[in-house]
Amino acid sequence: MSTQVLLNRERRPETQSGQNQATTASKVGPGVHEAIDPYRWIILIGLITASIMEVLDTTIINVALPNMAGNLNATPDEIAWVSTAYILSNVIVLPMTAWLSQRFGRKRYLVFSICLFLFASFFCGTSRSLNEVIFWRIMQGAGGAALLSTAQATLRQIFPKEQQGLVQSIFILGIVMAPTLGPTMGGIITDKYTWPWIFFVNIPIGLIAMALIIGFLHDQPNLTKAGPIDIPGIALLTVGLGSLQYVLEEGKRDDWFNSSSIVRLTIMAAISLTALIVWELSPRNKAPVVNFRVLKNKNLTAGLILFLALGFGLYGGIFIFPMFVQKVLHFSPTATGLVLLPGGLATGAAAIFCGRALNGAKPLIDPRILIFFGMGIFIVSMWMLGHLSPLSGEPDTRLGLIVRGLGLGFLFAPINFVVFSAIRGPEIPQAAGLINLARQLGGSFGIAVLNTYVSNQEAMHRANLVSYLTPSNSAFMTRQQGIAHSFVSKGYSHEAGHQASLHLLDNLVQRQAATMAYNDAFLLLGITFAVAIPAVFLLRQAKKAPAGGGGGH
């Protein structure tokens, strides 16, 4: 039986109910309704492949930066721009993806984004100067924005409502697990090959994703094209988000508001983003690049708050954990990657469970219950990781990470399900762009806040601990003299033994202070989630979607 016959059979009910569809379309507006795509599962593979490739590039590069710095003759501060440049352009383009998709067509925009990503990946790997790498990382980040938000919106439109729980869980699974697996993959590639292969590995993956999208994805018929180009909106968005992201990325390095450039950029970000909101909501703006009116939807507003917290916890946790276990507990990079792996698998298992529970015309479990459970589990995991000691080993950290992974797995899919179930038609791409922006900004805030917080807490704890190390403290003097005696018994002179004992105690104090600082950071992540819990009460069960359409209709 030919493919065309099968295709006609699958679409026959759509033809028979043409009058009903016309009535529905007239109610919801042109370009909203879309038939369920018969090749949707193949398209899903292509979109997930592209999305995982994009998310991996935000973390896989980190372990290769020292090698890149040596090859490109760059300082640590200079080479950090390889990561910063990618995130900067990605954050700026994310809110514009809905507008770009509408203006150029969803399929065309996705294919162009993948081409740009692969083109930039190749030139990143062949670059021989730092400026070249930074330029192509900017291009790569701009291309990667659509691989998340536009892909997620597409899945809402080509799958029926009863399959959305499982589909979104599978999609989110890749986004959540990729940051965890990125450093491990980056270490293996860098050790066995050279750092350019961090970028070259994208090319075959991206070509597969592009072939599937070109071959099977089609744009909706009768799409309403975007209006005139919103030049003021694009300019304000670029300046505002670019300045904000720079402040978050470079603030710690420039000593925050003691730097005049950070102060100026903070003011510029505040003014630009405020002006952006006013302009985009103005009646004079007939074609806003970012439609903030979708925030009237309480589910979307609550979802953005939750995704800010999730980004804070996901990327912030991935940022501080390797630093803690390698700096304080002396894990090797390989051991660090392996201890993170079970947590990633736990996230996958929980996400699949949520997908099954949310699948079908009516979810088996209220998604808000899953969200409450996930947040509770995540807070428990932060409590566990917040009470580690300098003597903790891999089993101690692994258990906390597994619990953390379970918590994350119970959050992403249910939040997506509730938010997108309340979004209709052309608002879906706008919501997807804002949600992914919230997650990315949450991660940037998390890294910036935790980086500064750990440094400040470590200095505070060290000062407190040192205040007890005085001659009047008999316990300290007994310990110091005992250590000095052990050095003398090994052949040290009395003076050398005394100095060696003080040096050893100083290292112990520093290690204890660092442990306490990282403990505080993990507890802060738990507090952040606890503060975000009230947003769950804003979520409402969405009304049943109109029959005959995909999940987003």
pLDDT in tens, 35-80: 566 778 888 888 888 888 888 877 777 667 777 877 888 876 677 7
Q: What residues contact residue 447 under an 8 Å CB cut-off, 6+ apart?
A: 248, 315, 316, 319
CA torsion sign, 170 to 176 to 180 to 183? positive
d(CA 277, CA 279): 6
Spatial neighbors of 252 by CB under 8 A, at least 6 apart, are 448, 451, 452, 455
The pLDDT tens digits of the residues spanning 167-207 come to: 877 887 777 677 667 766 776 777 777 788 888 888 898 89
Task: Tell me the average pLDDT across 4-23.
Answer: 40
95 has pLDDT over 50: yes
Cα dist. 480→462, 491, 494, 500 in Å? 18, 17, 13, 10
> Which helix (H) or strand (E) is 390 found in, with range?
none
Is 385 a residue whose pLDDT tops 70?
A: yes
Q: pLDDT higher for 12 or 283?
A: 283
Q: Helices (DSSP H) in 423-542: which residue ranges?
A: 427-466, 474-489, 494-532
Q: What pLDDT was estimated at residue 460? A: 92
- Residues 545/421, Cβ–Cβ less than 8 Å: yes
HSE, side-chain direction, 13 A CA sphere, residue 251: 23
Percentage of the chain exceeding pLDDT 70: 86
Confidence of residue 497 (pLDDT cuts 50, 70, 90): confident
Q: Is the pLDDT of residue 437 over 90?
A: no
Name the most confidently modeled range: 104-113, 350-359, 490-499. Answer: 104-113
Q: What is the mean pLDDT of the chain?
A: 80
The answer for residues whose C-beta is within 8 angstroms of residue 506's C-beta and 6 or more apart is none
* The pLDDT of residue 20 is above 50: no
Q: What is the DSSP letter of 81?
A: H
Amino acid at 512: Q
Over range 531-548, report the average pLDDT. Answer: 69
Q: Taking the CB of residue 488, how many other CB atoms lie within 10 A of it?
A: 17
Please state which of the ranges 4-8, 130-134, 141-145 shows the lowest mean pLDDT: 4-8
Of 83-87, 111-115, 521-525, which range is least confident? 83-87
Per-residue confidence band for 224, with pLDDT thresholds at 50, 70 and 90? low
Indicate if the pLDDT at residue 378 is higher than 80.
yes
Question: For residues 424 and 443, what is the distance between their CA atoms, to the nearest angstrom?
Answer: 28
Q: How is 261-290 classified by DSSP, letter by letter? A: HHHHHHHHHHHHHHHHHHHHH-TT-SS-SS
Contacts of 231 (CB under 8 A, 6+ apart): none
Please tell me the predicted confidence (pLDDT) of residue 546: 38
Which of the two residues, 320 and 457, has the higher pLDDT score? 457
| pLDDT for residue 226 | 57
Higher-confidence residue of 543 and 92: namely 92
Q: Which of 382, 391, 401 is nearest to 328 (CA)?
A: 391
- Confirm if 528 and 288 have CB atoms less than 8 A apart: no
pLDDT recorded at residue 551: 33
Query: Which residues are registered as beta bridge partners of 550?
Result: 160
DSSP conformation class of 75? -
The Cα diameter of the chain in Å comes to 98
Amino acid type, 59: T
**Distance between CA atoms of 329 and 406, rounded to whole angstroms?**
24
Cβ atoms of residues 82 and 137 within 8 Å: yes
The arithmetic mean of pLDDT across residues 88-108, rounded, is 83
Which residue shows structure tokens 């900067």?
88
8 A C-beta contact, residue 319 and residue 450: yes
pTM of the model: 0.76
Choose between 379 and 11: higher pLDDT.
Answer: 379
With cut-offs at 50, 70 and 90, classify the pLDDT of residue 374: very high
Contacts of 38 by beta carbon, 8 Å cutoff, 6+ apart? 6, 7, 10, 11
What is the separation of C-alpha 209 from the centre of its chain, rounded to a whole number of angstroms? 21
Window from 373-377, 497-501, 548-552 with minimum mean pLDDT: 548-552
Average pLDDT over residues 141-163: 83
Give the pLDDT score at 418. 85
Yes or no: say if 213 and 111 are a contact pair by the CB < 8 Å rule: yes
Which two tokens mark 71?
């090859």
The dihedral through the CA atoms of 222, 168, 189, 319 has a sign that is positive
Q: Of residues 182 and 536, which shows the higher confidence score?
A: 536
Question: What would the pLDDT profile of 235-291 be if each residue is shown by its tens digit?
Answer: 888 888 888 888 887 787 777 888 888 899 999 989 998 998 888 888 887 778 777
pLDDT at 325 over 60: yes
CA neighbor of 203 nearest in space, from 123, 146, 139, 131: 123
Backbone φ, ψ for residue 285 (5° rounding): -90, 100
Which has more pLDDT, 187 or 163?
163
Distance CA 435, CA 429 (A): 10
Give me the mean pLDDT over the 428-443 stretch.
83
Q: For residue 74, what are the contacts with CB-CB under 8 A and spacing of at least 6?
A: 68, 130
Q: Decide if pLDDT at 550 tops 70.
A: no
